[in-house]
Amino acid sequence: MAKSFIRIDDNDHGYALAQFCIPKHYEEDLDHVLIPAGLINDRTERIARDIVEDFGHEPIVGLCVLKGGYKFFTDLVDKIQILNRNSRQSVQLAVDFIRLKSYVKSDFISSSSANVSSTETSLASSIEVIGGDNLENLKGKNVLVVEDIIDTGRTMKQLLELLESVGPKSVKVASLLVKRTKDNVGYRPDYIGFEVPNLFVVGYALDFNEYFRDLTHICVINENGKKKYSTKS
Ligand code: HPA
Ligand code: MG
């Protein structure tokens, strides 16, 4: 049975910034709060329960996709640990990390192919693994990939191909957010926190050019924020 998720409607403008505590340095750069931290926390608790129930007695390896996935990952792991010590059912959990860089096809070919190993080139033509443990360690394991957001789904599809190549026992994906966009390649994760409108969201480790990771709530960036933190001058 497909798991449920919280759908945030296109007409839902969330909460005014003034209703929550926002760091002074970001006050001018955001439009509204889309998902308050408390709601993220409660939804994460339920996803943790679903995971423990689904995996039963099988040990798993949580694979955190850095950097954006780190908050969801640590909170999810905390909640799985709470369940593990408070119930008769528990799931043994190891942790692993991976950092990816995705390229648009054109700049991948022109500027980055020299850095990519031959296996990665053949398996995933536009993602590069730029950090983390050796993927070979996942061979024969039940892997739970933990991601912050699925947008087009392209990065995740390529990551899954790469993971399959090392021969895991199983692979499941938990993504805190899934964006509603017509550009999605048709990929849906196994566990979804929230389905969100096609807007650029930041906070709770999601960034815009490395800014806003230090924002507690998930918010929608405004034009001022995009301009201020743009890498183009
Ligand atoms: N915010 C942050 N990172 C992202 C987004 C987003 O809306 N979409 C894809 N990566
Ligand atoms: Mg991500």
Provide the mean pLDDT of the chain.
90
Q: Which residues surround ligand 2, an ion (CB under 5 A)?
A: 68, 148
| Residues 8-19: tens digit of each pLDDT | 999 999 999 999
151 annotated active-site: yes
* DSSP labels, 105-137: HHHIIIIIGGGS-HHHHHH-TTEEEEEES-GGG
The predicted pLDDT at position 1 comes to: 52
Q: Judge whether residue 33 has pLDDT over 70.
A: yes
The ipTM estimated for the assembled molecules is: 0.97
Q: How far is the CA of 201 from the centre of ligand 1 (A)?
A: 6
Helix (H) / strand (E) element for 48: namely helix 37-55
Q: How far is the CA of 206 from the centre of ligand 1 (A)?
A: 7
Which pLDDT band holds residue 44 (cuts at 50, 70, 90)? very high
Q: What are the distances in angstroms from CA 201 to CA 20, 36, 178, 216, 224?
A: 16, 12, 11, 12, 14
Q: How confident is the model over 49-66, as pLDDT tens digits?
A: 999 999 988 999 999 999
This prediction has a pTM of 0.90
